[in-house]
Structure 1
Amino acid sequence: MLRILQPHFPKRLLCLPPLSNPQTICTNASSTTAVALPLPANSAAYVHLPFCRKRCHYCDFTIVALGSTTNSDSDPRISNYTKLLLREIHATEPNSDSDPLLKTIFFGGGTPSLVPPHLISDILDSLRSKFGISSDAEISIEMDPGTFDASKLDELLRLGINRVSLGVQAFQEELLRVCGRSHGLSEVEEAIGIMKSADGLANWSLDLISSLPNQSLEMWEESLTCAVAAQPNHISVYDLQVEQGTKFGYLYTPGEFPLPTVNQSADFYKKAAGNLPREGYEHYEISSYCKSGFECKHNQTYWQNRPFHAFGLGAASYINRTRFSRPKRMKEYTNYVENLENGSVADASSASVDLKDLAMDVVMLSLRTARGLDISSFVGKFGWDLTASLCKAFEPYVESGHVIGLDVKRKALPRSDFELGRDSDTQLAFIRLSDPHGFLLSNELIAIAFRSMSP
């Protein structure tokens, strides 16, 4: 089945175990077995801005609902939270003296476009002072229709924001109402107009959700057509996952009307995988499509299992192969920041990850992408035996067409060449899932990979 996640990890995650937000894949490591591998440098930061006008009916993310009548430009909850966030950044030590400047920053939420630009400026100044920001850094922000105008977008661009993720979700008024979105179709059209006319915005993404209640395949195709007509550089398509504790969780049962069946959800996915590449959008990651050269660089930090700082309520970092989640409640988060300032927060970077756990992370994240798993790199890090076990487990799925072996020129190999150690031009160099059928079974295929690497 398919899975939703937010765009910075991205916006929704497809075909993986349940996650509650873009950072929840980053949980504390349970093992302390040392990994004798070089530690990669960190050049990315995620900043969580949790404010929304209201909670959407499918959402179980860490948010603070402000109410639809609140003036977010003067709301003390936003300014007080920003002060707390700045304290956390200031109290956080760089990973090492050799870390490069930040090359990607992602403001996620929540609805970051509710935060006044001068507070975004304060956060960027703090990150620049503490870690440095590369002159060509990708700096992304999530924005929802109806929460900004041309003037606010222009202010953000002047601050250095150079990539926007626009949360449209649907191009049908009735589906926006079903989702509990705070915007309607007129706000969607206005927001797209602002994006297209903004001076200096050369990179923006549009987000859609499929498998919504009462959504038909014709509605989904219409949304895809409208998304393409808007001419974004990047399109993310997420399949609805009904979470316990949400309004949808109380109202609906997955697979039962008015939600689509599993087969109908697969049809939505296949429709996007068929239509968008014909319009020039490369399917480079399970839920992500882009024009050539417009892959989300920050998201690639996650897919390549590279380290990143994270700041804010409920955010989770990945530093020195340690995944560390911050508290999801404001009081506990405030206490966490105070303890960090006092030096009484345990040094999470002193822990390390079990070798097989790290290998599983690499497999899970690599198989989300069109590039797939780099066999040479995997053997170098985790050894021949673990790689051979993985290949053996995938052999039946090469036969069925769900898994593809590629040579160094990324040419598909026949089943007979899907093995390690061939001394020829047809040596196995990459393993990827087929598109769309392998991607649709990614949850099951990743589980098979995990079992093959378990004791």
Structure 2
Amino acid sequence: MLKSTFTPIFWVLTPKPKPPKLPPQAITNTFFTSSTTHVRHNAPLNPTTPPPPSSAYIHLPFCRKRCHYCDFPIVALGSASTQTNDDPRVSNYIHWLCREISATNVDQPADASTITPLKTVYFGGGTPSLVPPRMVASVLDTLRLKFGLREDAEISMEMDPGTFDAEKMREMVVLGVNRVSLGVQAFQEELLRACGRAHGLKEVHEAIDVVKLCGVENWSIDLISSLPHQTSEMWEESLRLAIESQPTHVSVYDLQIEQGTKFGRLYSPGEFPMPSETQSAEFYKMASRMLSDANYNHYEISSYCKSGYECKHNFIYWKNKPFYGFGLGSTSFVGGLRFSRPRKVNDYINFVQNLENGLVNSSVKGHISGKDTIMDVVMLSLRTAQGIDLKSFQESFGSSVVLSLLEAYKPYVESGLVVCLDEHRRTIRIDDLNSSLSKTNAEGRVAYIRLSDPEGFLLSNELIALAFGVIDSWKDMPPYKEAEAT
């Protein structure tokens, strides 16, 4: 099941995408004056010369109130807060956020003409749409001055119903925001109240109308399944109304009960009023069926889109490419290191001051573990419909690892949970796979491994954990080899 005990580096299916959750064995501490920040050693498929980041995640932590399922680092402004122009908590945070961006060390190439400006910027939270446009403009200006920003960059913003009107939406569009992720979560008033959402159904429909009115073509609706007291009829209605709203993208997250949240205190997974694992699986299958029937491509475990409307920023994560992270609790991945910021505002301010004073060292020396790297690639790739590109995988890690994975997955290919594809993405029959394995040249015949939709995706945690077991059993990983950039 999607919500089993295995915890991936990024997110399983949580109400919003989270920064990476890192395996304990791969975490190293680096100490600052007043806080401890986690550094994770790993690398993309091209480990010796990782490219500079071309994407930035910006955490804007403000919410009107904390939802009952949320364990993100946020600042609750009050349930009635929608006008934040003069709120010192907001302006002060933006001030320190811009200082962090400006103080960040950047390895500039000798040839200035080769500098790559940012291709994607993602404003996550929190509820970024609570932040006044002029303050969003200051963040974008700081990014542009520090890194450069392509004119055609994808600039995404998470927005919640009830936190913006047409005037604010138009101002955001003028600033360059060209992709909106609308946090609807459910189309039932009772479920929104049960989740502790600050908006109701009326605000949901108003927000959808505003997004369309302002001409935002690239926009997503976020939905949550497996909520307490949620029935299959409710879930079907939410999916139907989402489809009728005609977004170009839909994200479907399976609720995770997190410790320390209100839901964590009230409910236990699988126990009434929470859906059973069987019911959660049916919710997932229903989403896959209904959205596919409506011509949405299921391109990642929790993501569906019309053709050409994949989230470019999220692909950076799934392809294990480097990215900057700025703001409270955010994580960056630069130079083969994952580096997380403090989750509390005062600690974050101290962190920025230390960064400006040269007291923060994110370049901790150490050996980049081959096992950690290969686990990252497997886990992130198997979240997507493309799956693992075995050509790049073999160039980086060797043919023995490829054969070991194919051997481990062979029973699941037979059961239909794992799919092997050739270079033309045609399915390879199990007889052909067995023949290839017997000749020890499967890596030349099988070009991709992916999980089936929806059955394989439903068991993604177990299937990825199986690969982890195979990788972890290796006493000596093969040496890195330079992989072609893809």
Which residue in the other structure is 2:20 paired with?
24
Task: Please tell me the root mean square deviation across aligned C-alpha atoms, in Å.
Answer: 2.2
Does 2:180 match 1:164? yes
The two structures have a TM-score, normalised by structure 2, of 0.88
- Mapping 1:89-168, distance limit 5 Å: 89-97=101-109, 98-168=114-184
Which residue in the other structure is 1:256 paired with?
271
User: Quick check: 2:52–2:334 contact (8 Å CA) kept in 1?
Assistant: no
- CA 1:427–1:171: 2 relative to 1, 3 Å: same
User: Quick check: 1:321–1:352 contact (8 Å CA) kept in 2?
Assistant: no
- Mapping 1:288-437, distance limit 5 Å: 288-348=303-363, 350-351=365-366, 353-418=368-433, 419=436, 427-437=445-455
Does 2:65 match 1:54? yes
* CA distance in 2 between partners of 1:302 and 1:85 (Å): 22
> Counterpart of 1:430 in structure 2: which amino acid?
Y
Shift of 1:96: 3.5
* CA distance in 2 between partners of 1:32 and 1:233 (Å): 36
* CA distance in 1 between partners of 2:16 and 2:236 (Å): 27
- Which string of whole-angstrom CA distances, capped at 9 and with x for unpartnered residues, describes residues 105-148 of structure 1? 00000000000000000000000000000111000000000000
Does 2:243 match 1:228? yes
User: Quick check: 1:322–1:351 contact (8 Å CA) kept in 2?
Assistant: no
User: Quick check: 1:37–1:381 contact (8 Å CA) kept in 2?
Assistant: no
1:107 is paired with a residue whose SS is strand
Which residue in the other structure is 1:69 paired with?
80
- CA 1:424–1:379: 2 relative to 1, 3 Å: closer
Between stretches 189-198 and 341-350, larger displacement belongs to 341-350
1:74 is paired with a residue whose SS is coil
- CA 1:306–1:36: 2 relative to 1, 3 Å: closer
- CA 1:198–1:21: 2 relative to 1, 3 Å: closer
- Which string of whole-angstrom CA distances, capped at 9 and with x for unpartnered residues, describes residues 358-411 of structure 1? 011000000000000000100001111222211111111111110000000100
* CA distance in 1 between partners of 2:262 and 2:22 (Å): 25
- Which ranges of structure 1 fall in alignment gaps of 5 or more residues? none
Equivalenced residue count is: 446
- CA 1:240–1:33: 2 relative to 1, 3 Å: closer
User: Quick check: 2:15–2:253 contact (8 Å CA) kept in 1?
Assistant: no
Does 2:192 match 1:176? yes
Between stretches 420-429 and 286-295, larger displacement belongs to 420-429
> Counterpart of 1:77 in structure 2: which amino acid?
R
Shift of 1:355: 1.2
User: Quick check: 1:26–1:317 contact (8 Å CA) kept in 2?
Assistant: no
> Counterpart of 1:93 in structure 2: which amino acid?
N
> Counterpart of 1:364 in structure 2: which amino acid?
M
**Taking every aligned residue pair, what percent have the same amino acid on both sides?**
57
* CA distance in 1 between partners of 2:47 and 2:443 (Å): 32
User: Quick check: 1:211–1:259 contact (8 Å CA) kept in 2?
Assistant: yes
* CA distance in 2 between partners of 1:84 and 1:163 (Å): 25
* CA distance in 2 between partners of 1:191 and 1:444 (Å): 38
Between stretches 426-435 and 368-377, larger displacement belongs to 426-435
* CA distance in 1 between partners of 2:193 and 2:365 (Å): 47
* CA distance in 2 between partners of 1:129 and 1:352 (Å): 34
1:365 is paired with a residue whose SS is helix
